[in-house]
Structures are given as C-alpha cells and as structure tokens.
Amino acid sequence: DPYAGDPLRHPALKVNSQRPFNAETPPELLTESYITPNPLFFTRNHLPVPHLDPDTYRLHIVGPPGCESLSLSLDDLYQFPKHEVTVTVQCAGNRRAEMTKVKKVKGLEWTTGAISTARWTGARLCDVLAQAGHRLSESEAHVCFVGLDSDPTGTAYGASIPLAHALDPEAEVLLAYEMNGQPLPRDHGFPVRVVVPGVVGARHVKWLGKVSVEPEESYSHWQRRDYKGFSPSVDWDTVDFDSAPSIQELPIQSAITEPQDGETIEAGEVTVKGYAWSGGGRAVIRVDVSLDGGLTWQVAELDGEKQRPRKAWAWRLWQLQAPVPAGQKELNIVCKAVDDSYNVQPDTVAPIWNLRGVLSTAWHRVHVRVTP
Ligand code: MTE
Ligand code: MO
C-alpha cells in the first residue's frame, strides 16, 4: 500500500477519499477562526504523501542557459529574507457537489470546505530566482514546479505560473517552509511548498523538488489536462483541453457556513455566517444575504483582517444577525459577494456548469425550517 506511510489526520475533517487523502474542513469549523488551524486545513492530495528528510532535502532551481542552477538546502532557504503572508488557498473544485446536482461531473464531491486560510512564511520566489540570475525576459516564459510525490510509474505532481507573476515582488509568491508558525505539516507539503497568493490551489505545489524556468507551461497533466473551464455545452467527447487557458486567478466566491442546509432553527432571530474571497488580490467589498431566496437583501458585517488594495490574499469572514420574519415556517437563505472590481457571483449553477465541475461559484443557498 503506497499510502501506508501517510500521516495521521484530525478526526473532524470530512473525508472525501482516503487514498489519496482528500478532506475538507467542516463548515462550522471553517468560520470559527480567521486562520484555519493546521490540523483542520483542507487537504487535497493526488498521490501518496512522500517521506522527506529535512537534513538531506535539496530544492533544485534550474534556469535556461545564462542562468545559474542552484541546489538549496533548507538552511540555504532560511538565509533569504523571511517573508510572511496570510493567504487563502481554494481548490478549483470547491463546491463541486452543487454542480453534480445539475448534471454529473468528474471529480471529488467537495461541498463548501475545500478552502482554508493560513499565515505562510518562507523565501520569496523572486528573491531566489534573482539569485539564480533571472530577469524578466521579453519572451513569454513560465516557472514550472515539480513535487516529490509521484505515482508508481514515477510521474510527479507538477504545475506552473507565468514568469512575470513569479518575478513580481508585489505578487508575494513564496517558497513556504512554515504554516501558522510551525514547520509545514506533512499533508501540506513538508518541508517546502509554493504559495501563490490569489491563485488556484493547484499551483501551490507541495513537497517542492524542482523549480525551472521554461518557454512553455508545465507539461503536467494537472496543468494541461485538468483545472480548466469550459462551456456547459462541452462534454467528454468534444472537449479540447488545449483550447482553454489553465486556471490561475480565481473568481469571486462566497458560501454560508451557518446555519447548514436542512437544519431547523428557532423563531426570533437568525445568525447567518460564512466566508467570502476573490482571486488576484481583489478585496471583498460586500456580502449580500437574503432570507427569502433572493427577493430582498441585507448587507452582512465583514469580520477578519482589513485587506490591502490589490493584495487581498485572504478571505473575509462575515455574519448577519436578522429577525426571522414573523410566521415563516422556512427560510431560503442565499449569499453573494462582490469584489473591488465589482465582480459578482452568478445566481444559478446551470449556466456555469462544466464537465470537471470547477469554478463553482453560484449564489450559495441554504434551506432551513423554523420551529414556531
Ligand atoms: N502539490 C503536490 N505536490 N501534489 C498535489 O497533489 N495538490 C494541489 C496543490 N499542490 C497537490 C499539490 C491542489 S489541487 C490543491 S487544491 C492544493 O495543493 C491543496 O493544498 P492543501 O492540501 O495544503 O490544502
Ligand atoms: Mo485543487
């Protein structure tokens, strides 16, 4: 069993698959704290968790001709200026289960918990690339990442981001070795992972073994044959993966974590809680909540840390306390968020349905009964 060496996990995680291990943070714990505790951070593994020895670990930085290649130990990485950022990581498949209800899709049945937030500490990728002699070139180039996890044929997890993004100091791309002040847990990439603020989880490569600058995007399956969006009209017979760009920055997202669908609440007052986040450093400026299926709206209160303009890498938690309208036997609670580019979420799932069930960002809806 290649998974026999996987780490122990927190029993509160909602397990989606054991081998490879995939689990989400339960909704009620997701919004309990702005920073997700490490043991409760959602986990998305495609392969067994590798066993890596921090003493012999080396990160290989491979450049095109004219650049130096580096082999960095953990101590070497610690010599770079230490940089900390609070970043929300979201899987492209978060809320896929809602797409499945419209029509079958291929992928793990995530509900609302394939998203979490941590303070990540490490060396900035731009500083490490600068040491190897990288400068922004005129030609289009990509920084490819290879993980040290691999399948029985030796195929490793890989992904890439544009070189311009990697070299932009304001983008704060990290080679992270700490998560919330602790060494990275094994499930989250020990000893080093990439953190790409504002970008889909799939590019945050864990158990990082190699960084290379290439003229083309990563040839990895997960860069080229997965994590892309398509029209609802495209099916598995007609899909052309080369026709769509790889997902990088994610769109505006929000979800209700409390109350939960199917719950019974008491008459009087209701407290609605949830999260909202947008990719690309776009700040959440507002969350609207409806108790009547979207006929009327109230503005929720935003909690959590204030976001820096264009560098809003982390989510806002939000809540709304409101009277339950007299005589109501049930509520159809809905939320939708707005970011600082005034991007909004679509109202329904069907028009954004796609065969892989990614980018599921329709208004989140929860139905509850009210006891008189
Ligand atoms: N990196 C490696 N090496 N192997 C993986 O399977 N999964 C990716 C990404 N990095 C993955 C990886 C995906 S799809 C996501 S959503 C994030 O890791 C999840 O990060 P987490 O498990 O720390 O939450
Ligand atoms: Mo993912």
Distance in angstroms (rounded) separating the CA atoms of residues 84 and 79 = 15
Residues near ligand 1 (Cβ within 6 A): 41-47, 89, 91, 147, 149, 157, 188, 201-202, 204-207
Residue 177 lies in a domain: yes
Ligand 1 centre distance from Cα of residue 180 (Å):
17
Query: Which of 17, 24, 195, 206 most suits a substitution to test ligand 1, by most atoms within 8 Å of the C-beta?
Result: 206
For atom 21 of ligand 1, the residue with the nearest CA is 43
pLDDT at 127: 97
**Predicted ipTM > 0.95:** yes
Q: Looking at the structure, do residues 58 and 130 belong to the same domain, yes or no?
A: yes
- Flag whether 288 is in a domain: yes
| Same-domain pairing of 155 and 258 | no
Q: Which atom of ligand 1 is nearest to the CA of 93?
A: 16
| Domains identified in the chain, total number | 2
Question: Closest residue (by CA) to atom 14 of ligand 1?
Answer: 202
Domain that holds residue 314: 253-371
Residues in the chain where the model's pLDDT stays below 50: none
> Are both 317 and 365 inside the same structural domain?
yes
Alpha-carbon distance 358 to 202, whole Å?
A: 12
SS3 275: strand
298 phi and psi angles, rounded to 5 deg: -130, 150
Q: What is the pLDDT of residue 63?
A: 80
Beta bridge partners of 262: none
The pLDDT, as a whole number, for residue 137 is: 74
pLDDT value of residue 66: 81
pLDDT at 136 (0 to 100): 75
CATH number for the domain spanning 293: value is 2.60.40.650
Distance 331 CA to ligand 1 centre (A): 36
